[in-house]
Amino acid sequence: MATDSSSSVSDHVVSRGTVEDPIFEITDTSVTYDGETRVLEDVNVSIDRHEILGIVGESGSGKSMFASALLDAIPDPGVLTGDIRYHPPDGPPVDLLGLTDEELRQFRWEEVSMVFQGAMSSFNPTMKIGAHFEETLKAHDKRVSEGLEFARELLENLYLEPERVLDSYPHELSGGMQQRALIALSMVLDPEVLVMDEPTAALDLLMQRSILTLLDRLQRKYDLTIVFITHDLPLVASLADRMAIIYAFQFAEIGPRDEIIGNAAHPYTRALLNATPNVDAPLDEMQPIEGEGPAPVSVPSGCRFEPRCPLATEECRTTDPPLAAVDRDRTTHRSACHHPATAREEIQLNFDEANDELESASPVEPSEPAVETRAEQTSETPLLSLDDVAVHFTEEQGLTERFTKDPTVVRAVDGVSLDIHEQDLVCLLGESGCGKTTLGKTLIGLQRPTDGSIEYRGQDIWEAKDGDGEIPYDEIRSALQIIHQDPGSALNPNRRIADILSESLRHTHPNIGRNERRRRMHSLLERIGMAPAEEFLDRYPHQLSGGEKQRVALARALLMNPDAILADEAISAVDVSLRIEIMDLMLELQSEFETSFLFVSHDLSNARYFAEHGDGRIAVMYLGEIVEIGSAERLIHDPRHPYTEVLRWATPDLELDSMGAGDPPLREVDVPDPIDPPSGCRFHTRCPVAREACREQHPDLRRIDDGDGRVACFREDPNHEYWDSEPVDGAVEQPEEFTGN
């Protein structure tokens, strides 16, 4: 077979833009299920040695299949056909599909290894991490002691304590630690290629960015080739040398990173760039992409993107465009579109202009006064008022610790005071484990604080619950509602949408009849964009898409006529392109239903979109405390707390100049244990500008002199002894020395 196809192979090489020293050559490769369903179609790509190739695609676009194909590990009963050639650093090329089982077993992990999305589910829960390393080394006949030495080195390079990690069970590590341990495990046999399938999707942004920085370092140190597959375009853009976009089981566009971001030629790529929430983009121009990617059984006959493409012509409907060079002189950038020039002209990239506009307009001032008046200067009783609230959990202990140790107390929330006003909007922002969800639940009276008080219109909620309050507890309970992160598990799968919604209606309007209830649900569903409402009412939750489920959850909360709704990471489970739509909907409904919103998120760009559009505040949380609070504008453009600055750094943007800029402005990757938070300022262990004073003294939230909001940092006080004390180990004198921007 090799002989008679050699000429056609070389043709392909020309047409697909030669890379100089390919480590993988993938030719006409397809994955087929049941003989007809093709989940990867005629892919022709080469991967360069020592490059980082970022592959972006929506869920269900076949990107994971591509990852599995590189290891010839397609899940049964899928069939992999085509030609995948691997070029080892020395020796003849390997035909991947021609390997015997034993050869394939050795090839995997020794030459090409893989990192999966869920680190937790990639480890055997009943085995220590170290045992995973040992058995891998044994299975490949390597010396265990040497291999473990290398593993320790890898773990150390990933900012982990090797001994502690190797001696832990998977569940004893945080998500970020697990993911890094998994990366070390995948590199323990020193492979040439690392295939990463959404390796950071389950982590919060700061950890994602930190891991990416570490990956970049590892790639250079160990001469790796990395194939990084994700749905998150801006994330991988900061890391990749080349980028490829997969749409409907084929590559839509591939080229150097800067070309793809700055000069994309496929309408889908350009739409994807415009649909990304982006700290620097003007808000009005973020647009979701209409429609959904095709299912494998109903791929359009012409161009795959044609049904969703605003520029589609007759040619697009009939002829499938090949993946060909965009410009004649540059063969490295290839796109599967008939009209690349039109696409570039017609679809403007919104972040380009954004930069100019923002640069010229002075960033801080504009919306401040409004926030001030509403949030700070209202004299009326606030809707919800937290006073010095603490929530501490006592952790369950094992049999032996029972008798030897004191019970461990997790300080989820510590000393937080916060007022929420009528029709207010507050975003709680922070890393996972910082207590933002606990604080949110405390705010709506779902979590009893262990210390301090929470008042609803001047009435202590927990006193009302115990039976002595002027406002009955039932009234408070129905006034404070929640939307959960995962709408799938928040809706009863055995009840129709009509039943789910009428539950709340029956509570708020006990006297209206069945028809009236139905009419109200009908009009609300139409209002939230679920038409035809009649049809949706009779469906079960599993018949809805993720976005529709979240709309139903929102409708259910709204039907209670609440005064405040807690949206707990409510859009994280929704596809990126739909997030803005849901956020817009929530904002519109806020004014219509006159409710307040508490929006919990780990994503600064989402929080910013929400807070800026709703004219609200962002509260940054760290280890159970609010460290900075203020308007979105001020937080983005003039962050005062070093931690806010870190979050700002972790938020991916598509600005080419700042991309890949430097190390994280952090001295430690992991959050300290909330059981034993650091003394003084809790951030001092990671803070890049920490000084000796931060070790001992605890900063209080203080009003910012020349801006809105409050911040808990000594650097705000020009007379504080902070300025005279010595920087701690690893910290720098001035923040300018660590930030790239």
Partner 1 sequence: MNYYLKRTAQIPLTILAVATLTFGLIRLLPGGPFTQLRLELLQQGVPAEQVDARIEALQNIRPDAPLWQQYLDYMVGVAQLDLGQSISLNEPVIDVLARSLPWTVFLVVTSTILMFVIGVVIGALQAYWEGSRFDRITSGGSIFLLSVPYYIFAVIFLFFLAFQLQLFPTGNAVARGVDASLSLAYFSSVLHHATLPILAFTISGIGSTALNMRGNGIQVLGEEYVEVARLRGLSNNRIATRYVARNAILPMYTGLLLLIGFRLGGTVVLEEIFSYPGLGYYMIQAVNANDYPLMMGCFLVITVTLVVGVYIADLTYGLIDPRISAGDSDEY
Residues that bind partner 1 (CB under 8 A): 71, 73, 75, 105-106, 108-110, 113-114, 116, 118, 121-127, 135-136, 139-140, 169, 171-172, 185, 393, 395-399, 402, 412, 438
CA gap 322, 309 in Å, rounded: 17
Q: How far is the CB of 108 from partner 1 (least distance, A)?
A: 5
Decide: helix, strand or coil at residue 709: coil
| 532 φ/ψ angles, rounded to the nearest 5 degrees | -75, 125
CA gap 12, 5 in Å, rounded: 11
Decide whether 82 or 118 has the Cβ nearer to partner 1: 118
Decide whether 452 or 529 has the Cβ nearer to partner 1: 452
Q: How far is the CB of 503 from partner 1 (least distance, A)?
A: 24
Decide whether 105 or 507 has the Cβ nearer to partner 1: 105
Q: How far is the CB of 446 from partner 1 (least distance, A)?
A: 11
Q: How far is the CB of 62 from partner 1 (least distance, A)?
A: 18
CB 38 within 8 A of CB 31: yes
Decide whether 133 or 622 has the Cβ nearer to partner 1: 133
CB 574 within 8 A of CB 582: yes
Decide whether 176 or 562 has the Cβ nearer to partner 1: 176
Q: How far is the CB of 135 from partner 1 (least distance, A)?
A: 6
CB 422 within 8 A of CB 400: no
Angle of the 576-593 helix axis to the 604-613 helix axis, nearest 10: 30
Q: Using alpha carbons, select from 62, 76, 59, 77 the residue that is nearest to residue 29.
A: 62
Structural element, H or E, at residue 185: helix 175-187
In sequence order, which residues have a C-beta less than 8 Å from that of residue 580 and are 6 or more positions away?
275, 277, 286, 287, 288, 609
Decide whether 105 or 220 has the Cβ nearer to partner 1: 105
Decide whether 14 or 139 has the Cβ nearer to partner 1: 139
Q: How far is the CB of 112 from partner 1 (least distance, A)?
A: 10
Q: How far is the CB of 146 from partner 1 (least distance, A)?
A: 18
- CB count, 10 Å around CB of 541? 21
Q: How far is the CB of 82 from partner 1 (least distance, A)?
A: 20
CA gap 679, 496 in Å, rounded: 52
Q: How far is the CB of 189 from partner 1 (least distance, A)?
A: 9
In sequence order, which residues have a C-beta less than 8 Å from that of residue 676 and are 6 or more positions away?
none
Decide whether 451 or 535 has the Cβ nearer to partner 1: 451
Structural element, H or E, at residue 385: strand 384-394
Q: How far is the CB of 76 from partner 1 (least distance, A)?
A: 11
Decide whether 230 or 438 has the Cβ nearer to partner 1: 438
Decide whether 548 or 569 has the Cβ nearer to partner 1: 569
Q: Where are the beta strands (DSSP E) in 470-615?
A: 480-483, 564-568, 596-601
Decide whether 74 or 728 has the Cβ nearer to partner 1: 74
423 alpha-carbon distance from chain centroid:
28
Q: How far is the CB of 557 from partner 1 (least distance, A)?
A: 22
Decide whether 202 or 237 has the Cβ nearer to partner 1: 202
Based on its alpha-carbon atoms, the radius of gyration of the chain, rounded to whole angstroms, reads 27
Angle of the 175-187 helix axis to the 144-157 helix axis, nearest 10: 140
In sequence order, which residues have a C-beta less than 8 Å from that of residue 390 and are 6 or more positions away?
411, 413, 414, 415, 416, 449, 450, 451, 452
CA gap 65, 71 in Å, rounded: 10
Decide whether 73 or 144 has the Cβ nearer to partner 1: 73
Angle of the 144-157 helix axis to the 129-139 helix axis, nearest 10: 130
Q: How far is the CB of 675 from partner 1 (least distance, A)?
A: 12
- Cα first-last separation, the chain: 55
- CB count, 10 Å around CB of 174? 17
Decide: helix, strand or coil at residue 159: coil
Q: How far is the CB of 439 from partner 1 (least distance, A)?
A: 13
